[in-house]
Amino acid sequence: MATGGEINHQLNKTLGINNLDYVISELERNGFSDHKWMELGGKLHISESDLGTVNANNPLNAKACLRACLTHWLRWNYNFDKYGKPSMEKLAAAVKKVGFGAVAYKIENIEAEGSSGLRKRSNVSRVIYAPPIESDVHNELSELRNSFLDLIDKICKHLEEKVKYRALETSDVAEFIKKNGVKDMKLDDLKTIESLFNQIQDRYNYLNFSLIKVIVDKYLKKLSCKEYITGWLMHHSGTALRREMEAYAKKLNNFLYSKRLKDLKGAIAITFGVNIIPSDTSCIVVIKLAGGWDEMTISDLESLLRHDFNQTDIFNHLQITPGSVCVTYLVPRSAIADITSAVESKSESMCRVGVFYFSINDDVLLDKQDNVNFDESLIEAVKLDETFEVSLLLSLGADPYYEDSNGDKVLELAIQGGNEEIIELISVATNSQVLELESQKELNDKEDNKETGDNELERSLAASKKEINELQLQKNENETKLQTFRTQLKNSYAEIEDLMCKRKKDLDKISSLEADVRVKEKTMSKQEEEIAALQEALSLQKKENEAELQKKQNASYLENEILVGPLTERKDESLEADVLRLKDEVIAKDKLLFEQTEQAKSSMHTI
């Protein structure tokens, strides 16, 4: 048996990312709820921003969120210098704070047994820890509603004081509200903040207060110097109210992410006391969802409505009926057309995820049988490349190993589709299923040790082992296929990158050649102009020379006719000499112009 020192050493042993699967299996085996992942993350001192990123990256998938949350913790992505490094002792303490005292006790007990090297209970008597009874959901809802009503009252008083001191006009608030979606209400004639909030009260409540938040962000700011010095608004300052609203939002967020719909059976109806009724500005929507949704949270339901209708609706009433979930809530009458259009265009998608009935003000838009097969829906969603549907269906319990009558397998279809996000979702789901079966096997091992003579349990254990082996083989096969696909995808990316680089070089070379051609064309054009000018000058000079020669010849003939006697012979010789000299000059000039022209043409051909 382990001593106290050995037990403490085992519990305080520092954990790392290589312990991830072990930590998850311990939590699942001992009954920790995946839907409490956000509260657990807070108790493990993971930042709100990191938890928000986890939620955004794993929509409607509590198992994946829990795994990502614990990954942050085991990678020491928090202030471990202040809160200490990860250990099973700190995990048990965090689990206990979330409200799972029995799970915490089991974790501590298992570590104590494991430290001795033997998986058996100690003979030493123990004081068994009795976990505290969780608060009634109705009480939590009542507390939330009362806190919200008190917060609304303080906000109204704060705004009324600003109106009183003429720092704000009621009409300004009314106009701001109309610009933020409340366009179908008459708010212009309202004179007080209280009457304004009464008029819009069916547009907000304690489960959805987005309208109130934008009002607070707009008009509740830090105190000015004048406000601080005079002391007015000190009891309900904008800064204090903003902090109070942030605290309420955090508390509500934990509630929405932790409470399953079946936990809320009748609680919201009791809180309201009466059924909701439509008004001049609002109408009733009724949605019925197939079995399986009762294990989901309000946040999951909000995500579905936000995905299908591009808005967050206000839940004023919620009731659970056997085998299905029936949701009733109010929406603005101005939204009827958009909601009707969305249901008509997305009816097939809604049916795949379990929505089989939808009506608005008794006008039935969707009415199908409650016989949806989530496994078949998962196959269809993967084929259609619908990431949101795949994530939601896996959370609803669809089998990631499912194979339909055509022999199509979920992961193989995902790999063929090439959507990496869908592939990752299915891979995480298959890993989680293997861990669950392994955890079940360990539980069966314990039960088998207690009841060695139970043949039925032995047969069940053998079947579980066989199923685990088959799933493990299939998991290995899927991982191999996935790795092959990733390698092919990586090679394809590399080939594309090489082709792009080569194409860029070719384009650069073509651009350079085009630039050279443009320069040469410009030079040739200029030289052609110079040659034309030289040819024109040559022609003109030739004509001038011929004219001058003709003129001199004419002059010589005239002189020859006038002169007589012994000078005649000498004049003829002089005239002949002049003619020859002029011809030589003309020939020399023609030769010079010809050489210049040929030189210009030669330069142009060289280019």
Shared domain check, 279 and 245: no
568 part of a folded domain: yes
- What is the pLDDT confidence band of residue 15, given thresholds at 50, 70 and 90? confident
Least confident of 162-176, 462-476, 525-539: 462-476
Q: Is the pLDDT of residue 488 over 70?
A: yes
What is the β-pairing status of strands 355-360 and 363-367? Answer: antiparallel
Tell me the C-alpha distance between 381 and 13, whole Å.
44
Tell me the C-alpha distance between 578 and 323, whole Å.
131
Shared domain check, 600 and 483: yes
CATH number at residue 42: 1.10.533
384 or 209, which is more confident: 384
Q: What's the confidence (pLDDT) of residue 483?
A: 82
Shared domain check, 82 and 41: yes
What is the β-pairing status of strands 324-332 and 363-367? Answer: unpaired
- Residue 482, domain extent: 457-606
CATH number at residue 334: 3.30.70.2750
Shared domain check, 569 and 468: yes
Q: What's the confidence (pLDDT) of residue 52?
A: 87
176 part of a folded domain: yes
Give residue for tokens 């829990």: 66
Q: Is the pLDDT of residue 271 over 60?
A: no
- What is the pLDDT confidence band of residue 129, given thresholds at 50, 70 and 90? very low
Q: Which of 126-140, 298-312, 386-400, 579-593 has the highest mean pLDDT?
A: 386-400
Shared domain check, 599 and 461: yes
- What is the pLDDT confidence band of residue 365, given thresholds at 50, 70 and 90? very high
Contact 247, 282 (CB under 8 A): no
Shared domain check, 594 and 495: yes
Which of 372, 395, 412 is at the close of a domain? 372
Order of strands across the sheet that contains 282-290: 314-321, 324-332, 282-290, 355-360, 363-367
Q: Is the pLDDT of residue 606 over 50?
A: yes
Shared domain check, 322 and 301: yes
Using CA atoms, how far residue 461 sits from 78, 122, 231, 452, in Å, is 41, 25, 73, 12
Share above pLDDT 90 across residues of the chain, in percent, rounded to a whole number: 8
Contact 23, 32 (CB under 8 A): no
120 part of a folded domain: no
User: Cβ-count burial of 450 within 10 angstroms (0-12 exposed, 13-18 middle, 19+ buried)?
Assistant: exposed
Mean pLDDT for the stretch of residues 541-564: 72
Tell me the C-alpha distance between 7 and 116, whole Å.
8
Least confident of 93-107, 179-193, 563-577: 563-577
| Residue 400 dihedral angles phi and psi, to the nearest 5° | -70, -15
379 part of a folded domain: no
Shared domain check, 584 and 537: yes
User: Cβ-count burial of 174 within 10 angstroms (0-12 exposed, 13-18 middle, 19+ buried)?
Assistant: buried
559 or 74, which is more confident: 74
Give residue for tokens 């109806």: 269
Which of 80, 114, 148 is at the close of a domain? 114
Q: What is the mean pLDDT of the chain?
A: 76
Q: Which residues pair with 346 in a beta bridge?
A: none
377 part of a folded domain: no
Shared domain check, 555 and 511: yes
430 part of a folded domain: no
475 part of a folded domain: yes
Shared domain check, 497 and 588: yes
Shared domain check, 582 and 539: yes
Which residues, at least 6 apart from 479, have a Cβ–Cβ distance to it below 8 Å?
A: 427
Nearest to 404 by CA among 373, 432, 427: 373
Share above pLDDT 70 across residues of the chain, in percent, rounded to a whole number: 75
Query: In this structure, what DSSP letter does residue 479 have?
Result: H
Mean pLDDT for the stretch of residues 190-202: 85
Q: What's the confidence (pLDDT) of residue 480?
A: 82
107 part of a folded domain: yes
Tell me the C-alpha distance between 177 and 159, whole Å.
14
Which residues, at least 6 apart from 602, have a Cβ–Cβ distance to it below 8 Å?
A: none
Residue 605 backbone zone (phi > 0: left; psi -120 to 50: alpha; other: beta): alpha
Condensed to tens digits (0 to 9), the pLDDT of residues 130-155 reads 333 334 677 777 888 889 989 999 99
Which of 339, 372, 405 is at the close of a domain? 372
Q: Is the pLDDT of residue 169 over 70?
A: yes
Domain count, the chain: 4
Shared domain check, 476 and 570: yes
474 or 91, which is more confident: 91
Q: What's the confidence (pLDDT) of residue 4?
A: 45
Condensed to tens digits (0 to 9), the pLDDT of residues 55-112 reads 888 877 888 889 889 988 998 889 888 888 899 989 999 998 888 877 887 787 754 4
